[in-house]
């Protein structure tokens, strides 16, 4: 199952980019034998500053047809890492070809796009900078792959 990280904004060189790249590489290496990956990033920008609705349109166009659509949102469901891994495995084992995790811009994800999501996941009640959410998602995807593969990375 291909995994897509679809986000508003460009992640420039720096510590966040380095962390995302590291976790993406780890996920691809660990997930491929498990039928997970590759992890592909899609970055969109609302260059005309038309707001959340315009961002939502760009995000929706970047999501592959038929993909499981997952919004990253503070109103989403709180999952433990093993629960997140189980969810990924369920989609994979159910024959889904693609899953797309959508990260909005500074104002979040437009309600219309959130309503279309198959699932909504939260990393807690706090609001996180969208660039850090990419790092957190990439790490959790890697962690999920190690959980599913029985690796030692996750200690719970």
The domains located in the chain, with CATH, are 2-149 (3.40.1280.10)
Give me the long-range contacts of 10-19 (CB less than 8 A, separation at least 24). Answer: 10/43, 10/45, 11/41, 11/43, 11/131, 11/134, 16/131, 16/132, 16/134, 16/135, 19/135, 19/138, 19/139
pLDDT of 97-149, one tens digit each? 999 999 998 888 999 999 999 999 999 988 888 889 999 999 999 999 999 99
Name the pTM for this structure.
0.94
What pLDDT does 155 receive?
76
pLDDT of 4-48, one tens digit each? 999 999 999 999 999 999 999 999 999 999 999 999 999 999 878
């Amino acid at each position: 199952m291909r995994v897509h990280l679809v986000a508003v904004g460009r992640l420039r060189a720096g510590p966040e980019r380095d962390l995302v790249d590291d976790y993406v590489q780890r996920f691809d290496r660990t997930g491929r034998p498990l039928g997970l990956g590759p992890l592909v990033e899609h970055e969109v920008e609302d260059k005309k500053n038309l707001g959340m609705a315009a961002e939502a349109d760009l995000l929706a166009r970047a999501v592959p047809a038929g993909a499981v659509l997952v919004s990253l949102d503070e109103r989403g469901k709180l999952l433990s890492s093993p629960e997140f891994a189980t969810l990924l495995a369920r989609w994979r084992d159910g024959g889904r070809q693609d899953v797309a995790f959508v990260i909005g811009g500074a104002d979040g994800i437009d309600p219309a796009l959130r309503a279309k999501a198959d699932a909504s996941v939260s990393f807690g009640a706090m609001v996180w900078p969208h660039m850090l959410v990419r790092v957190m998602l990439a790490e959790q995807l890697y962690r999920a792959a190690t959980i599913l593969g029985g690796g030692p990375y996750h200690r719970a």
